[in-house]
Amino acid sequence: MQTKLYNQEWKDQGSIELNDVVFAQEVDNALIHRALTYQLANARRVVAHTLTRSERRGSTRKLYRQKGTGRARVGSARSPIRKKGWVAFGPRNNANFSIRMNKKERRKALFSVLSSKITSDSLVVVDSLNFDSMKTKNMVNVLNALPVKDKVLLALPSADKNVERSSANIPTLKTLFVNYLNVKDLLKFETLVLTKESLAKIDEVFVK
């Protein structure tokens, strides 16, 4: 499979070969959904936490005698039915929401999303990105030149301070390294921008 290759000024540089293992897979929406659920569940932070009976402060003395008062019987002030009492069956911060998914399935889901970028014309390949300085204007000029949609994901093969700093203040653009390509970001951002080196890095990291 081939796709057009451009420079950062959107001038035609011919075409470039894409790996069919990565970019020519059948789009499996069910598998993509499972991979997204897996990623979100494993990234979930457990915040909600309530105190049990032994953890709640206060006296355990019975508030008043069992009979003869005309009122309902009652225990200590720490009872779960009283204000500031302990919480029965409340959430605890030791809850585990993580799920498991086979590595081959996760990789196949990633390739499926990358393939969908090709079918929806949401993949842009440039030969390279070269900035002389760290200015937001540099990246804005590139985005204005390229046929990108609202949200853009730029996958870099390695660290590049000029490109990363020039992208930092653009709210609709996210940069990440090819090693960290994931289903969530690929679904969230409409257009994926890759360089020639990024394509080579994808083959190196994910195709074995």
Which pLDDT score is estimated for 4? 87
Which pLDDT score is estimated for 110? 96
Indicate the class that CATH gives domain 2-44+101-206.
alpha beta
Other Cβ atoms within 10 Å of 160 Cβ, number: 17
Does 1 score more than 90 pLDDT?
no
Pairing of strands 2-6, 12-17: antiparallel
H-state helical runs in 46-145: 103-119, 136-145
What six digits make up the tokens of 146?
């390229």
Name the residue among 37, 55, 39, 40 with its Cα closest to residue 93.
55
Average pLDDT over residues 150-179: 92
What six digits make up the tokens of 64?
């008043």
Rounded to a whole number of angstroms, the CA Rg of the chain reads: 27
Residues of the chain with CATH 3.40.1370.10: 2-44+101-206
Q: Give residue-wise pLDDT tens across range 101-149.
A: 999 999 999 999 999 999 998 999 999 888 888 999 999 998 888 888 7
Distance CA 68, CA 76 (A): 18
DSSP for 6-20, written as a single string: E-TT--EEEEEE--H
Which pLDDT score is estimated for 105? 96
Does 34 score more than 80 pLDDT?
yes
φ, ψ (nearest 5 deg) of residue 68: 90, 0
